[in-house]
């Protein structure tokens, strides 16, 4: 009798280096790659028009990749706990494969699916594939999960790695299968004017090749440069259009200092996945209990100015406008805008997390939450809060010295001389006229005074966590 498997795809939208897909292809005669459109995710707490559009684009590309090897994508809508057992029963499938994940939502959903399948005698087979290594394994010398990056990274890089797999050479669907259809891209919520990257595996693999072909060598020196110098791979890694494991191995094969720095940065992704897996409460609460007592300011005007890139601080505004237009933002800018929201405006980090989830193509709960808690000084990898308050003026002068990034995203500052670009409000009236940028008319005055806000924030954090003698 023919053996049939379902491969339940989630955020592993590729054919290369896909352990679940390869295992199913090796052990079964017919393989059904399935995507379930789950309304709880599409409309839920972290719903996003830009990311849904990107995801559907990735799925369309994947369908083409699968058809090229004789298979094709099967699409259903509903809750996986119901859809998977139904389809398995209907097809007579004996096995369901998927790529394991780390969020509390995913773990609970997968547990329910496993139970439902088990009651039908169908085997559930979770597989690796989302990370460079098994993020459930690393432990400190005391047997505890890690909460500091560098020791995590040292432990994780010693872990064994699975081999990188080629795409299956052939797949066969069951005869007569109703494959269902992907919906047209809905015009949900916010739209991107110039999406940061093309969805799908072919675009991701082409970008990886280009990155490895040269730019990676300068990663160590240029990764903080706001106008470029990083790989730009995050949205594809988030959706699994390329595997992190393959990316890591290919960079290691390339070798050199740039590649080493890049591989270390990639390990942050595994670190935050480990952290959420080990500390699921982080999804809602501050990791550091003492900071659960912090008081946040309710400032709707400040929040709107931040979202719209109208704070009067050019680097903050450039970052927020890059996000709104393209669905992506440079890491250095993410840190500056995150610090600005939580430390200058004193607005709850969860509001920033939520906005990023709405807009970022690469937003993913473990990464977004981990990074937001890091910048709010409430999370893992702690540093004293008074050290993690970014000065948006100095950051701009250091990481955008020629002003290319700021001028690209805040065009009303195009005529402002570079010496004035980080503090345009300091221009005299005559300079403002000459630059074609009158503060308060063409570009806002700062919504807050950074120096004063810094002191207020130190007081606020000190009030709930006095420094030890």
Ligand X SMILES: Cc1cc2nc3c(=O)[nH]c(=O)nc-3n(C[C@H](O)[C@H](O)[C@H](O)COP(=O)(O)OP(=O)(O)OC[C@H]3O[C@@H](n4cnc5c(N)ncnc54)[C@H](O)[C@@H]3O)c2cc1C
d(CA 272, CA 365): 9
Contacting ligand X (CB under 6 A), which of 334, 343, 450, 454?
Answer: 334
Stretch that binds ligand X, among 11-19, 74-82, 364-372, 438-446 (CB under 6 A): 364-372
Stretch that binds ligand X, among 32-40, 202-210, 329-337, 415-423 (CB under 6 A): 329-337
Nearer to ligand X, 115 or 257 (CB): 257
DSSP state, residue 215: G
Applying the rule CB under 6 A, the residues between 176 and 195 that interact with ligand X are none
Output the furthest CA–CA distance in the chain (Å, rounded): 85
Q: Enumerate residues 6+ apart whose C-beta is below 8 A from 167.
A: 15, 16, 18, 65, 69
Backbone angles phi, psi at 447, to 5 degrees: -75, -15
Interface with ligand X (CB under 6 A), residue total 27
Residue 231 is a binding residue for ligand X (CB under 6 A)? yes
Contacting ligand X (CB under 6 A), which of 372, 399, 409, 461?
Answer: 372
CB of 416 to ligand X, least distance (A): 26
- For 340-399, the DSSP string reads IIIIIS---HHHHHHHHHHH-TT--HHHHHHHHHHHTT-SSS---GGGS---HHHHHHHH
Q: Are 13 and 63 in contact (CB under 8 A)?
A: no
d(CA 297, CA 345): 8
- For 404-447, the DSSP string reads HHHHHH-GGGTTS-GGGTT-GGGS-HHHHHHHT--BTTTBPPPS
Residue 273 is a binding residue for ligand X (CB under 6 A)? no
Integer angstrom CA distances of residue 209 from 62, 163, 227, 265: 19, 19, 21, 18
Residue 233 is a binding residue for ligand X (CB under 6 A)? yes
Nearer to ligand X, 22 or 371 (CB): 371
Residue 395 is a binding residue for ligand X (CB under 6 A)? no
The strand pair at 95-99 and 4-9 is best described as: parallel
Contacting ligand X (CB under 6 A), which of 356, 385, 399, 409?
Answer: 356
Stretch that binds ligand X, among 125-133, 234-242, 304-312, 318-326 (CB under 6 A): 234-242
Site string for ligand X, 236-265 (x = CB under 6 A): -xx--------------------------x
Nearer to ligand X, 224 or 431 (CB): 224
CB of 221 to ligand X, least distance (A): 13
d(CA 230, CA 272): 19
CB of 231 to ligand X, least distance (A): 3
Nearer to ligand X, 31 or 266 (CB): 266
Contacting ligand X (CB under 6 A), which of 375, 380, 406, 421?
Answer: 375
Burial 101-140 (b: 16+ CB within 10 A, else e): bbbebbeebbeebbebbeeeebebbbbbbbbbbbbeebee
Contacting ligand X (CB under 6 A), which of 52, 65, 371, 395?
Answer: 371
CB of 97 to ligand X, least distance (A): 24
CB of 228 to ligand X, least distance (A): 9
Site residues for ligand X per CB under 6 A: 223, 230-234, 237-238, 265-266, 268-269, 272, 331, 334-335, 338, 356, 360, 362-364, 367-368, 371-372, 375
């Amino acid at each position: 009798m023919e053996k049939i498997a379902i491969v339940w795809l989630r955020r592993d939208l590729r054919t290369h280096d896909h352990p679940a897909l390869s295992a199913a292809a090796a052990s079964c005669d017919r393989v059904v790659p399935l995507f379930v459109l789950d309304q709880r995710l599409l409309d839920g707490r972290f719903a996003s028009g830009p990311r849904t559009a990107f995801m559907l684009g990735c799925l369309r590309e994947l369908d083409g990749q699968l058809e090229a090897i004789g298979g094709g994508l099967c699409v259903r809508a509903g809750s996986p706990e119901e859809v998977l057992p139904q389809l398995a029963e209907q097809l007579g499938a004996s096995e369901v494969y998927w790529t394991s994940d780390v969020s509390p939502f995913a773990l609970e959903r997968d547990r329910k699916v496993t139970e439902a399948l088990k009651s039908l005698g169908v085997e559930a087979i979770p597989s690796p594939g989302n990370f460079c290594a098994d993020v459930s394994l690393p432990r400190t010398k005391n047997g505890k999960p890690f909460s500091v990056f560098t020791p995590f990274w040292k432990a994780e890089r010693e872990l064994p790695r699975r081999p990188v797999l080629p795409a299956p050479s052939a797949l066969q669907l069951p005869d007569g299968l109703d494959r269902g259809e992907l919906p047209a891209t809905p015009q949900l919520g916010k739209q991107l004017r110039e999406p940061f990257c093309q969805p799908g595996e072919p675009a991701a693999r082409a970008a990886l090749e280009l990155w490895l072909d040269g730019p990676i060598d300068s990663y160590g020196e240029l990764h903080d440069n706001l106008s470029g110098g990083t790989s730009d791979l995050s949205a594809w890694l988030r959706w699994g259009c390329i595997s992190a494991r393959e990316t890591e191995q290919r960079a290691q094969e390339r070798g050199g200092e740039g590649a080493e720095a890049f591989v270390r940065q990639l390990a942050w992704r595994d670190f935050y996945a480990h952290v959420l897996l080990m500390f699921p409460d982080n999804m809602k609460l501050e990791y550091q209990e003492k900071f659960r007592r912090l008081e946040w300011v309710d400032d709707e005007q400040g929040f709107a100015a931040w979202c719209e890139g109208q704070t009067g601080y050019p680097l903050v505004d450039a970052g927020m406008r890059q996000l709104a237009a393209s669905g992506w933002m440079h890491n250095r800018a993410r840190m500056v805008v995150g610090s600005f929201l939580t430390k200058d405006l004193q607005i709850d980090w969860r509001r920033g997390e939520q906005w990023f989830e709405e807009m970022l193509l690469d937003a993913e709960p473990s990464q977004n939450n981990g990074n937001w808690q890091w910048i709010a000084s409430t999370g893992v990898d702690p540093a004293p809060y008074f050290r993690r308050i970014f000065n948006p003026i100095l950051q701009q002068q250091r990481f955008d010295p020629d002003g290319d990034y700021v001028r690209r995203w805040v065009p009303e500052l195009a005529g402002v001389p570079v010496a004035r670009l980080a503090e345009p409000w300091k221009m005299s009236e005559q300079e403002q006229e000459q630059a074609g940028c009158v503060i308060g008319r063409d570009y806002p005055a700062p919504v807050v005074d950074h120096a004063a806000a810094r002191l207020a924030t130190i007081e606020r954090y000190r009030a709930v966590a006095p420094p030890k003698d």
